[in-house]
Structures are given as structure tokens and as C-alpha cells.
Amino acid sequence: MSEYELITATPGIDDYRRLRKVSGLSEKTQAAAEAGLPNSWFAVTIRHEGRTVGMGRIIGDGGTAFQIVDIAVEPEHQGQGLGKRIMTALVDHLRANAPASAYVSLIADGDARHLYAKFGFEPVMPASIGMALWVG
């Protein structure tokens, strides 16, 4: 089995945009990535043979609210447990560094909800409902 390296680092802009596209997430503009990535609270990347093949980030205010975003793995590297490694690193960092009263959320696309459930995430309905606004 090939070796994968998990690194505590925000992905580069080109890797970020590429990984979002190839993994089926919505594409982000160059300007959006340049503005947003430096504001990551915590992020990890997974490299294989020196190339970034996976990523995940936490955004938030550092105290009251956090959101797990940008979980993406190149399709040819899926099924290797990389999503689980990314989530483990993100949740471990939250548990070690976020205040106990912090609210942590994420949006689960499709079957990804099964992975997130393994880390304690559960639907918030009917008490709450996720909503979104796409600008542009």
C-alpha cells in the first residue's frame, strides 16, 4: 500500500480549487479562495508522493461557532480511509482547542453523513434546519 502523509496545513489555492472540483464539490473562484483560505481556523492536507490528494478545514470565530468544510479526497484515492483520517484530525483539534460551549456544524452531502455520524454528528431537525444562500 502506498504511503499517505497527513499534514497540518491549509491547502494551496490551486490544490484547493482542484480538489473541490474533482471530488464533486462546488467550484470556487480564484478570488474567493485567495480571500477565504487564509482565514482557516485549522486545516489538514493529505499528500501522496508529494502531491496533495485530500483536505479538510475548520472555519469559525475561534470561540463560539465552528464549521467543518472542504472535506475532499481525489476520487482515485477514495476508499483508503483518508476521509476518516481527515475527520479524526479535525475533530481531535476541536476537542483539544475549542471551548466546551462551542457549536460545531457541517453540511453532509449524500452518504458522507455516515462518516460524520461516526464522529458524533447528528441531524439537527426538527429543532433546526440547515439553510443556505448562494451569492451571485
What are the structural domains of the chain?
Answer: 4-117 (3.40.630.30)
User: pTM for this one?
Assistant: 0.93
Q: Position of cell 499528500? A: 47
87-104: per-residue pLDDT in tens? 999 999 999 999 999 999
Whether the Cβ atoms of residue 9 and residue 56 lie closer than 8 Å to each other: no
pLDDT higher than 90, residue 1: no
Helix intervals (H) in 76-119 = 82-97, 112-117
40-86: per-residue pLDDT in tens? 999 999 999 999 999 999 999 999 999 999 999 999 999 999 999 99
Provide the phi-psi class of 50: left if phi over 0, else alpha when psi is between -120 and 50, else beta: left
2-32: per-residue pLDDT in tens? 699 999 999 999 999 999 999 999 999 999 9
Query: Is the bond into 126 cis (omega within 30 degrees of 0)?
Result: yes
Whether the Cβ atoms of residue 74 and residue 53 lie closer than 8 Å to each other: yes
Q: Position of cell 496533495? A: 52
Average pLDDT, the chain: 95
Adjacent-strand bridge partners of 66? 60, 104
Q: pLDDT band at residue 109, thresholds of 50, 70 and 90? A: confident
CB contact set of 62 (below 8 Å; sequence gap of 6+): 41
